[in-house]
Chain A
């Protein structure tokens, strides 16, 4: 997240991408490459230049940087863009780093396994975000420590949000009450998202990764009916009439 105080030569944001996970079930040996080539023959375009993450949970060997670099070279020669590894041992992660791969945490299943063109298109669609939008409506007070996440649309709270609570939404956030906690709108990078509230007392507000803390917001908007939005990559707050 970036603090919008002055113009920087770069901007840092959070953004999520979908990658293909290749889970090794043993060693990266001849049998592995033969099976891989077989799979690639079935849908060459699907895998070409797609971002790949290697899941090393069941992998054996590849603990030396030489092995890792060899594996990466082999995969890249098949036009597979390996960007990182997951579930590796300490040695495997170290080898990965020296081969220019990032050890990654977390990740959510998204169902991209597919071998034919139809699935190829479905995969494209999912990435462009044409899933059904769904707003989340909350009518009880949002208590300290609670976190409400609207992952496919707006978040509407018809009550107050306590200090220490978090509202996170892909879309807009509307609070018909006092906003005392944190509100993060447009978390998937949607810079058009806005935050609306009837009484701004927030600890932090953010849109598409650009944030302002209570201190930054200053006394002018405290306890007022406001909307917050991004304009030219600056987080602006305006009184609602």
Chain B
């Protein structure tokens, strides 16, 4: 029986899709059969950043509306045999999602996979609501920035009230914080919120801190999950986060500002 994880945030552009791809890939690399689903109908990205957009024939909405079978829409990742992608439609919009349709698809996937990771769209409307409704776990993605934190707080409120688990009075959705685009140098200067500041406001367990990294943009443009870039700090941080998601206790890496050597500064490079 699969665990359903929703990757959500409220705020847009904080790293949900990047994180969904990284977490999905990380779980697959650990030997877990994983499927990632794009809930951002009309603004689909997940297939692109996983590099499988050229192999999409049918999508999530086709399956919901009975126009295609699930296995026709699932795209297997070429690099990781345990990873599959269920892309969404670009031509329709979020009204095409129905609760029953989503439930049926998830029920079918539950038997075949260990983890189902749902990439939520930004906002708090239908798409985000559908993505979180059936979740068992939630990865709440936030930047160390005030408006992002407030939006994440709103999302936490919705996770504890507008999900099936909440409505049925079952064990609540387990929400954990993934703090992305963290820049220790700016934190030291006092320009950016510290991890502790964010935790004080959100009061949920910390899944991981992903440092700001140029490798993320690179990986995105190459259609590759950032965990496959072995030189990337962000990738390593995601892999740690995945381990914690699976229950391992790992110390959070001490995030000190990088002391760049003279040559690094000269060449303007960071890892």
- The residues of A with any CB-CB pair to B shorter than 8 Å are 140-146, 159-160, 162-165, 180
| B29 beta carbon closer than 8 Å to chain A | no
Across the interface, B157 reaches (CB within 8 A) one of A144, A160, A163, A180, namely A144
**Interface presence of B215 (CB below 8 A):** no
Query: Which A residue's beta carbon lies closest to that of B159?
Result: A143
Interface members, chain B 133-191 (any A CB < 8 Å): 150-151, 153-154, 156-157, 160-161
Q: Is the CB of B203 within 8 A of A141?
A: yes
Contact between B153 and A162, CB atoms less than 8 A apart = yes
Can you name the residue of chain A whose Cβ is closest to the Cβ of B150?
A144
What residues of A have a CB within 8 angstroms of the CB of B157 in the complex? Answer: 142-146, 165
The residue that B153 contacts in the complex, of A140, A159, A164, with Cβ under 8 A, is A164
Q: When chains A and B are docked, how far (Å) is the Cα of A180 from the Cα of B203?
A: 14
Cβ contacts under 8 Å, B153 to chain A: 143-145, 162-164
In the complex, B201 has a CB within 8 A of chain A:
yes
Query: Are A140 and B160 closer than 8 Å at their CB atoms?
Result: yes
Q: Verify B154–A144 contact, CB threshold 8 A.
A: yes
- Closest 7 CB pairs between A and B? A143-B157, A144-B153, A144-B154, A145-B154, A162-B153, A146-B157, A143-B156
Number of interface residues of B (CB under 8 A): 10
Find chain A residues with CB under 8 A from B161 CB. Answer: 146
Chain B residues closer than 8 Å to A162, beta-carbon distance: 150, 153, 201
B38 CB to nearest chain A CB (Å): 26
Contact A163 B150 (CB under 8 A): yes
Interface residues of B in 107-138 (CB under 8 A from A): none
In the complex, which residues of chain A have a beta carbon less than 8 angstroms from the beta carbon of B160? 140, 143
- Cα A145 to Cα B154 in complex, Å, equals 6
The answer to whether A164 and B203 touch across the interface, beta carbons within 8 angstroms, is no
Q: Which residue of B lies closest to A159 (CB)?
A: B203
Chain A residues whose C-beta falls within 8 Å of the C-beta of B151 in the assembled complex: 144
Separation of A232 and B151 alpha carbons in the complex (Å): 39
User: In the complex, what residues of B have CB within 8 A of residue A141's CB?
Assistant: 156, 203
Contacting residues, chain B, for A180 (C-beta < 8 A):
201
Q: Which residues of B contact A165 (CB under 8 A)?
A: 157
> Complex formed: what's the CA distance from A104 to B156 in Å?
36
Task: Give the CA-CA distance A164 to B146 in the complex, in Å.
Answer: 12
- Shortest beta-carbon distance from A214 to chain B in Å: 15
Of all chain B residues, the one with the shortest Cβ separation from A180 is B201
A198 to chain B, nearest CB (A): 13
Residues of B within 8 A of A144 (CB): 150-151, 153-154, 157
